[in-house]
Amino acid sequence: MIVTRFAPSPTGTLHVGNIRTALHNWMFARAHGGRFLLRIDDTDAQRSEERFVDAIRADLAWLGLVPDAEERQSARVARYETVFEELRAAGHIYPAYETAQELDLKRKIARGRGLPPVYDRAALSLTDDERARLEGDGVRPHWRFRLDHDAPIAWDDLIRGPQSFDPRTMSDPVIRRADGSWLYMLPSAIDDRDMGVTHVVRGEDHVTNTALQLQMFAAMGAAPPAFAHEALLTGAEGKLSKRLGSLGVEALRAEGVEPAAIVSLLARLGTSQPVEPLADPAPLVAAFDFAQFGRAPARFDERELAQVNARIVHQLTFEAVADRLPPGMDAAAWEAVRPNLSTVAEAADWWAVVEGPVAAPAPDADDAAYLQKAAAVARTIDWGADPWHALTAALKEATGRKGKPLFLPLRRALTGRDHGPDMAALLPLIGRARAVARLDSNTGA
């Protein structure tokens, strides 16, 4: 069975890049009848907060990305200790005693000599007595995973294709700090093995991490999952945007963006497939294919999201939005204003137009006389059928007006605006009494 996972750290809320990663893991699992796991990477006790855990769950639920199970790294510390001791006993992990300042100096010296800033493994040369002396002086070691320099690293990435790394050009990664706290690398590999994760979908900034983790899987005697590294998102200006790092579900929801719009855009962003505004994600899931993903940076444009959102709103049924509409607004009113909305919240503006009062611009003398005639006609037409066409047909015959001179003064007087929903749908909602009063008020009656 296909098993994917989304593994956020609860040190903040989800942003657009996180959401895209979660979505693609969810889509791939659903496309193959597999399982989608949520793993809370909360080993950083100082920065992790429970409120962010709650926010992550709520954001995923709002987007419809419901996990099949949830795990928390903070509940698995004993498991990490066990594997750590096994790897240390097998010689895959070793203590190192350099301070951050000493390591920084080593890197500067290497660069000055034109060499890559790779850790020199000086800690492996320490004798037992030297280690005991350091620890006796109060120096606590951090721990590194020892890369196998004789085992070239290679894998076939589902997006990037064949990948290869020479471990001799890479530093042995620090996996545990001197205070005993864990870094990302080893716990993540242990979790992926224990939880049966078959596919890891993440950003291309993790490619080097994958190279290192492949040797960790080998050291544990475990088959690694398949990896798909996506191109990172860029802003509309063509470079990495700071706003993308802060643009989260809360901000998008506040702007009136529908979850289906976010899913529709991010599902196809970075692929060769066109973005389609789909209220139901099933077709997006069915068409999900890593072969469609490109390696060029994926361009996220908030204007495109707004356009997709409007097209999603135009598909929403009254039942889907009823709890977000103003009191008294019924299905007929929703159907009337829906084609002119960019967000559901804008429906309240048009409902205020229906209920009034409206502030219409003062007409010129000719239009004032025309509106006086319109008020008289509005009192006599049948409001139970199609009052707009009855009104305009009678006025066309009586005044000879047609086109814009016929329709625009009426729209302005009745709604206070030059543009908006189809008046044939809007006028019955305004009703006879309000319509006549508005036409009269524009003639001085």
Q: What is the dihedral of CA 416, 417, 423, 427, to 10 degrees?
A: -20
Let me know if residue 208 belongs to a domain. no
The residues, any chain, with a CB within 8 Å of residue 415's CB and separated by 6 or more, are: 353, 358, 360, 426
Q: How many CB atoms lie within 10 A of CB 55?
A: 18
Let me know if residue 7 belongs to a domain. yes
Same domain for 425 and 376: yes
What is the pairing mode between strands 161-165 and 153-157?
Answer: antiparallel
Q: Whose CA is closest to 318, among 330, 301, 336?
A: 330
Let me know if residue 218 belongs to a domain. no
242 is in an annotated binding site: yes
Same domain for 250 and 308: yes
The domain boundary, picked from 260, 289, 315, lies at: 315
Same domain for 103 and 164: yes
Predicted model pTM: 0.90
The domain boundary, picked from 176, 193, 215, lies at: 176
Where does 71-176 have alpha helices with state H?
77-89, 100-112, 128-136
CA distance 405 to 411: 11
- What is the total count of domains within the chain? 4
Let me know if residue 200 belongs to a domain. no
Same domain for 172 and 235: no
- How does 320-340 read in b/e, with b if 16+ C-beta sit within 10 Å? ebeeebeeebeeebbebbbeb
- DSSP secondary-structure letter at 381? S
CA distance 317 to 157: 42
- Give the model confidence (pLDDT) of 303-355 as tens digits: 999 999 999 999 999 999 999 999 999 999 999 999 999 999 999 999 999 99
Q: How many CB atoms lie within 10 A of CB 190?
A: 23
CA distance 113 to 127: 28
Let me know if residue 184 belongs to a domain. no
Let me know if residue 204 belongs to a domain. no
Same domain for 29 and 101: no
CA distance 76 to 68: 19
Same domain for 240 and 165: no
Q: Whose CA is closest to 336, among 427, 421, 434?
A: 421
Let me know if residue 197 belongs to a domain. no
Let me know if residue 348 belongs to a domain. yes
Same domain for 165 and 136: yes
- Give the model confidence (pLDDT) of 70-103 as tens digits: 999 999 999 999 999 999 999 999 999 999 898 9
Write out the two tokens for 11.
Answer: 């040190």
CA distance 239 to 305: 18
Q: Whose CA is closest to 333, among 322, 343, 342, 323?
A: 322
CATH number at residue 257: 3.40.50.620
Q: Are 193 and 83 in contact (CB under 8 A)?
A: no
Q: Whose CA is closest to 187, among 85, 95, 80, 86?
A: 80
Same domain for 324 and 301: no
Q: What is the pLDDT along the chain (445 residues), one digit of tens a residue?
A: 999 999 999 999 999 999 999 999 999 999 999 999 999 999 988 889 999 999 999 999 999 999 999 999 999 999 999 999 999 999 999 999 999 898 999 889 988 888 889 999 999 999 999 999 999 999 999 999 999 999 999 999 999 999 999 999 999 999 999 999 999 999 999 999 999 999 999 999 999 999 999 999 999 999 999 999 999 988 876 665 667 767 888 889 999 999 999 999 999 999 999 999 999 999 999 999 999 999 988 889 999 999 999 999 999 999 999 999 999 999 999 999 999 999 999 999 999 999 999 999 999 999 999 999 999 999 999 999 899 999 999 999 999 999 999 999 999 999 999 999 999 999 999 999 999 999 998 765 5
Ramachandran region, residue 431 (left: φ > 0; alpha: ψ -120 to 50; beta: rest): left
Same domain for 333 and 256: no
Same domain for 145 and 66: no
CA distance 67 to 8: 13
Same domain for 144 and 103: yes
**Angstrom distances, CA of residue 372 to CA of 235, 400, 410:** 53, 15, 11
Q: Whose CA is closest to 310, among 358, 274, 343, 271?
A: 343
Same domain for 306 and 239: yes
State the pLDDT at residue 46. Answer: 87
Q: Are 201 and 32 in contact (CB under 8 A)?
A: no
CATH number at residue 159: 3.90.800.10
CATH number at residue 375: 1.10.10.350
Q: Are 265 and 330 in contact (CB under 8 A)?
A: no
The domain boundary, picked from 129, 156, 176, lies at: 176
Domain that holds residue 172: 88-176
CA distance 384 to 373: 21
